[in-house]
A and B are shown apart, each in its own frame.
Chain A
Amino acid sequence: MLDRAAHDALVAAVGTENVISDPVQLRSYECDGLTGFRQIPSLVVLPRATEHVANAVRACHRHGVPFVARGAGTGLSGGAMPVADGVVISLQRMREIVDIDPVDRRAVLQPGVTNLDITKAAAAHGLYYAPDPSSQQVCTIGGNIAENSGGAHCLKYGFTTNHVLSMTVVLPDGEIVTLGGDTDEQLGPDLRGVVIGSEGTLGIACDITVRLLRTPETVRTLLADFPSVTAAGDVVSDLVAAGIIPAAVEMMDNLAIQAAEKAVGAGYTLSTPAALVVELDGPESECEAQFAEVRAICDRHGCTRLHIAETAAERARIWKGRKAAFAAVGRISPDYIVQDGVVPRTRLAEVLNRIENMGRDAGLRVANVFHAGDGNLHPLVLFDEDAGELERAEELSTDIAELCVELGGSLSGEHGIGTDKACSMPRMFGEADLSTMDRVRTAFDPQHLCNPGKLLPTPRLCGEQPGRYRPHPLEEAGVIERL
């Protein structure tokens, strides 16, 4: 519970009409897209302006109240999960596209604007916003900054950090600063880059200026089926070896295809063991030339069906199926965990085989959807909580992430560490790395109030495994009692 003074200060910071304190209503904020981790917040505030955000953060800072910023709550690592006795600062009432500047190709946004709405607003000028996480219809630019989100097209175009020019950030003490500038090249240390991807631990991004790109002249999308995941993986390696940089190369295995096809009816082949979605974009002549090469490479690896999207609507359907794949897995399994890891592209086949074996050993099915072009895997561990499979599934999922590290990759490609993987961080980083990260964090947030317990492991979170209950000797003697 918040003490009275802190509560009143927060209400004063944003106004009564922008505060949620009803216990039932607060329950709906207890988790984000990762529902396994839950914590009821003491209060939710919904600021309407940057000044409101700063007021709220200042109130938290003054009263020592921890806070968590929340966008659309779609994160898959528990990054927006509230903290005990803390406040959630929801940016969902700051959803204005402040400005589109077609000449300098920039957009100025409030943090709650959805990723897809940026592109919708820019489309009239022949422009678009490149990073496209699968949840782009709902996830917000503020959340994208926190997670440094990627998406299918980041293979060619880069992550969020390559597209955010500047932003005002409310620091953990409530100060408003501007990081970055209108041009790419800024002098001094890149603090903008430090904040992007810090998972909401260094401050709250408010007024955000992003770069817009010109909509490509031509887009070619093909869907190719393969007799095995290995064959599809080899195609990816060959594409890169041939010097082709597709806009996107996505792979799905059979389970994922079945789920996505059920949800969207995109025209995927239900029986194929693996499929690739390859997209090329750019000037027409370049696209055509590369497209012929892509076809040849696919054929060389035993492609069983190659389908080219004929219309924009068909292309959209292929992507819709791919982007809905996570949630669509809900149609083939009562519960599932979305994992996110990275391996060097050359080890794709190896990691997939090992995942398959690990799944078999655990007696669980694993569906695979991934951004094959940059080795970013999204294994989906399917399970049934009612059948008591949760623990086994969580174990398998963690093992898969740690396998990625073992193979020379990373714990996370784009979903972040959050609550979910904080305890796996020592698998990837040494003591010195972690303490350096902690010093950066402490420099921004000496009181550790800004999204505490996320991203970096803490002894409370990971070190002390509570053992079996054993009565204290004094308890046995009847001197003290456990309440």
Chain B
Amino acid sequence: MTDSSFDATNPPSRELLNDCVHCGFCLPTCPTYQLWGEEMDSPRGRIYLMDLAERGEIELEGAFTEHIDACLGCMACVTSCPSGVQYDRLLEATRPQVERNVPRARSDRWFRNGIFALFPYRRRLRAAALGGALYQKLRLPALAARILPPRLRAAQALMPQVRLRSAFASLPRRVRPAGAPRKRVALLSGCVQDVFFHEVNTATQRVLAAEGCEVLTPREQGCCGALGLHAGREPHARERAKQTIATFEKLPVDNIVVNVAGCGSSLKEYGHLLADDPQWRERATAFSEKVRDVTELLAELEPRAERHRIDAKVAYHDACHLGHAQGIREQPRSVLRTIPGVDLVDLPEAELCCGSAGIYNMTNPEPAEELGERKARNVRAVSPELLVTANPGCLLQLRRFLDDVPMLHPVQLLDASIQGRRPTEAPMTE
């Protein structure tokens, strides 16, 4: 038997590969299979290629890497698999192999490095936001759309309307609960979230406080490593994970709350990510066990704060990293249903990714755009007055294709209801 084409560092394991029985139940929910109808761009086909690479029958460079890169990592296949194949684990083992062993073309390498030099750093993102605001004032996007290559064009088109005041605002370190305290929690404020969706973080703090939680938000927190983890940049992800654990484990809290689906799924993975590191293994597991998505936590708590009526037809979009990766589908819906007047509707093809997928809409702009347009059509099909989803990546992506439907994070809608204002009005601050 020939040697595996993977190197010896955590290759996709034979046992996990053998779990796939080739039934094909994953095909219809895979976004790239929906787009192209090609076996090697389906989960079953990708696992088959991983299997061949593990047996040393094919090389990593070339078609193999191309199809692993083309995967959005949305994990819809994990949801649809009757055999319990852990595609998430397989992909997480495969991507670092590609990053380590397959040289990328220079432009591709620079572009990817550029993304990782910017996104995980709040300060650099703020500087970018400053540049972005100027850029938008000068009406440069119209020019950019004409002259930039596709990847850069996609990246600039994703840039939200920058509000400098919120991009530079910082969150209070401690927010006291209203009434008798029920829980003490720590909030992960995120990178993109905190710069471009600062108001989601403030809404999260207010809602949690209104529901009787004391909220600690450590200032020294950095990137949690989610983008890197999902892109196969394992050293980066491990480093970030350790820093995040060190920052949060000092705090005497019941739970660590996160309002970004992508970050939440990676925080819950820390135990696995650091499983081979004896110094960190237990700390990582203890950390992961405390992590809750904000809607998960709110669903656990009996509603306490009064909800005011919001009469609106609200479409809920399942972020892949919340629904498929964390299995959190019912909780956000049940939280939203506590708001009187809200008519909650599901989307057709709800299991299909919107194309955002971490850095995917920057590295693979064409399929991301097709998926974004498809999701937008599905949203319009139910004609909602509002769209809510729990991930900034999805919000950035969908805004590009749906400028006629206001979009919010579920906690923002809940915040509006508790404050008794219209959801699109600015929140009342102290």
The yes or no answer to B138 lying at the interface (CB within 8 A) is no
Main secondary structure of the interface of B (DSSP, over half): loop
Distance between B397 CB and nearest chain A CB, rounded to angstroms:
24
Q: Could you say which of A74, A112, A116 contacts B24, with CB atoms under 8 Å apart?
A: A74
Interface pick from A26-34, A193-201, A285-293: A26-34
The yes or no answer to A326 lying at the interface (CB within 8 A) is yes
Within the assembled complex, what's the spacing in Å between the Cα atoms of A19 and B225? 39
The yes or no answer to B38 lying at the interface (CB within 8 A) is yes
Distance between B115 CB and nearest chain A CB, rounded to angstroms:
27
Distance between B248 CB and nearest chain A CB, rounded to angstroms:
33
Max chain A Cβ within 10 angstroms of own Cβ: one of B27, B37, B59, B67: B37
A–B complex contacts, Cβ < 8 Å, 5 sampled: A22-B63, A28-B48, A137-B25, A137-B80, A263-B84
Main secondary structure of the interface of A (DSSP, over half): loop
The yes or no answer to B64 lying at the interface (CB within 8 A) is yes
Query: Given A137-B28, A327-B25, A28–B64 Cβ distance below 8 Å?
Result: no
Closest to B15 in A: A334
The yes or no answer to B289 lying at the interface (CB within 8 A) is no
Q: Could you say which of B18, B22, B58 contacts A24, with CB atoms under 8 Å apart?
A: B58
* B82–A328 touching, CB < 8 Å: yes
Q: Could you say which of A114, A263, A326 contacts B28, with CB atoms under 8 Å apart?
A: A114
Distance between B50 CB and nearest chain A CB, rounded to angstroms:
11
Query: Given A72-B27, A135-B23, A93–B64 Cβ distance below 8 Å?
Result: no
Q: Could you say which of B20, B25, B62, B63 contacts A135, with CB atoms under 8 Å apart?
A: B25
Query: Given A135-B23, A137-B28, A330–B84 Cβ distance below 8 Å?
Result: yes
Distance between A88 CB and nearest chain B CB, rounded to angstroms:
9
Q: Could you say which of A31, A92, A326 contacts B23, with CB atoms under 8 Å apart?
A: A326
Q: Which residues of B contact A (CB under 8 A)?
A: 18-25, 27-28, 36-40, 45, 48-49, 52, 57-59, 62-64, 67, 80-85
Interface residues in A, total, Cβ within 8 A: 38
The yes or no answer to A264 lying at the interface (CB within 8 A) is yes
The yes or no answer to A176 lying at the interface (CB within 8 A) is no
The yes or no answer to A161 lying at the interface (CB within 8 A) is no
Query: Given A24-B64, A28-B45, A330-B19, A90–B25 Cβ distance below 8 Å?
Result: no
Within the assembled complex, what's the spacing in Å between the Cα atoms of A134 and B337? 34
| 64-121 of chain A: CB within 8 A of chain B | 72-74, 90, 92-93, 95, 112, 114, 116
The yes or no answer to A324 lying at the interface (CB within 8 A) is yes
* B27–A331 touching, CB < 8 Å: no
Within the assembled complex, what's the spacing in Å between the Cα atoms of A335 and B19? 9
List A contacts of B27 (CB < 8 A): 72, 138
* B83–A328 touching, CB < 8 Å: yes
Distance between B306 CB and nearest chain A CB, rounded to angstroms:
31
Max chain A Cβ within 10 angstroms of own Cβ: one of B21, B63, B64, B81: B21
Query: Given A20-B38, A22-B63, A263–B24 Cβ distance below 8 Å?
Result: no
List B contacts of A72 (CB < 8 A): 24, 27
The yes or no answer to A450 lying at the interface (CB within 8 A) is no
Known: A29-B39, A73-B39, A327-B25. 14 other contacts (CB 8 A): A24-B58, A24-B59, A28-B40, A46-B38, A74-B24, A90-B39, A95-B37, A112-B37, A138-B23, A262-B84, A263-B84, A327-B83, A328-B82, A330-B20
List B contacts of A335 (CB < 8 A): 18
Query: Given A20-B38, A330-B21, A27–B58 Cβ distance below 8 Å?
Result: yes
Q: Could you say which of B21, B48, B64 contacts A327, with CB atoms under 8 Å apart?
A: B21
Closest to B59 in A: A24
Q: Could you say which of B18, B23, B36 contacts A74, with CB atoms under 8 Å apart?
A: B23
Query: Given A24-B49, A263-B83, A263-B84, A327–B38 Cβ distance below 8 Å?
Result: no
